[in-house]
Amino acid sequence: MVARILRLKPPFFEQAIAKSPQIAWLFVHSHNGRYREAAVQSMIIGDEDTAAQTALLLRSNDWVPQVREAAFDRLRIRAPQLPQTALSRLAVFAVARVGIWQRGGAEALDVLRECPLWLSALEEALAEQADGPLVHVLKRLILESTLDHALNRLARSARSPFVRSAATECVLTEKVRWKSGYKRQWINKPLGISRRVPLFEERNLEIDPNVCAAVVRSGARDTSAMVRKKVADKLIRDGGKEFPEEVRLLSADSAASVRSRMEFFHRKYPSINKKD
């Protein structure tokens, strides 16, 4: 349709794109593979142009092999040159979506991973962004121990409360836990009644006690009840003699889910009095 409007016919559309690369944007998602290939080869991709960089990733999973090859050729050249801020804008999309593409596009994630600023970009994305599948991405990365070093920062200062909650749980339990599958649990075998229950695996973390204490103190004052609940669970497991102020704060918390945990805490540790 665009080619008809511009009255371009092969091979003239390639010449038109070469003369005016801005026209490439009109063809990068065209139904015609030749148009897409020419557009990928000619489109201007600036360091801060997230839309162009994302389009290049999409074309790396194109159903036409020639388009994929053109996209990969440009991606291998452009990716190592991207600054950290530009990589961080691609990071969540790349880990959440690109890694599961089936037509070879998953290799694009390997190209990004080879960038020297990739780990720093991932940490920045999880710390500074507030939207998107951030927790899903974080859990995939800590499964691989990629961002163990960043858990302290994410638990205390990530913008997303979901990321803070997930990172806080990892730090305070000193474990990474993930679902590995399901098993059948019989309720009444003669009657054939059963239920499916999840199976979990875990990996231990080496967390400095000072880091753990800092996360308890910051988490008890977090604006999100999700994070404060993780701290209350930590106090229930280990006691709160070292954190009297945090015990007082959480015992009078505005969230009922936090207060109920602290009521159990005081029943479990009656010697630690609740101060008004």
Residue pLDDT, tens place only, 139-171: 888 888 888 899 999 999 999 999 999 999 999
Q: At 190, list the tokens.
A: 């003669």
Given this model, what pLDDT does residue 273 score? 61
Q: At 89, list the tokens.
A: 């804008």
Given this model, what pLDDT does residue 2 score? 47
Average pLDDT over residues 94-119: 85
**Whether 79 contacts 112, CB under 8 Å:** yes
When pLDDT is cut at 50, 70 and 90, the band that residue 214 belongs to is: very high
Q: What is the pTM of this model?
A: 0.82
Given this model, what pLDDT does residue 3 score? 47
Given this model, what pLDDT does residue 102 score? 79
Chain-wide mean pLDDT for the chain?
86
Give the C-alpha separation, 11 to 80, whole Å: 32
When pLDDT is cut at 50, 70 and 90, the band that residue 20 belongs to is: low
Given this model, what pLDDT does residue 129 score? 92
Give the C-alpha separation, 75 to 233, whole Å: 46
When pLDDT is cut at 50, 70 and 90, the band that residue 18 belongs to is: low
Given this model, what pLDDT does residue 41 score? 82
pLDDT in tens, 27-68: 788 888 888 888 888 787 777 778 888 888 888 888 888 998
Amino acid at 9: K
Query: Does 104 score more than 50 pLDDT?
Result: yes
Full DSSP string of 142-167: HHTTTTGGGHHHHHHH-SSHHHHHHH
Given this model, what pLDDT does residue 5 score? 42
Query: Does 10 score more than 70 pLDDT?
Result: no
Average pLDDT over residues 57-84: 88
Residue percentage of the chain with pLDDT more than 90: 40
Residue carrying the six token digits 């009657």: 191
Give the least confident one: 25-34, 63-72, 108-117, 211-220: 25-34
Average pLDDT over residues 76-85: 88
Give the C-alpha separation, 249 to 261, whole Å: 13
What residues contact 110, with CB distance under 8 A and at least 6 apart? none
Average pLDDT over residues 225-229: 96
pLDDT in tens, 236-253: 998 888 899 999 999 999
Given this model, what pLDDT does residue 56 score? 86
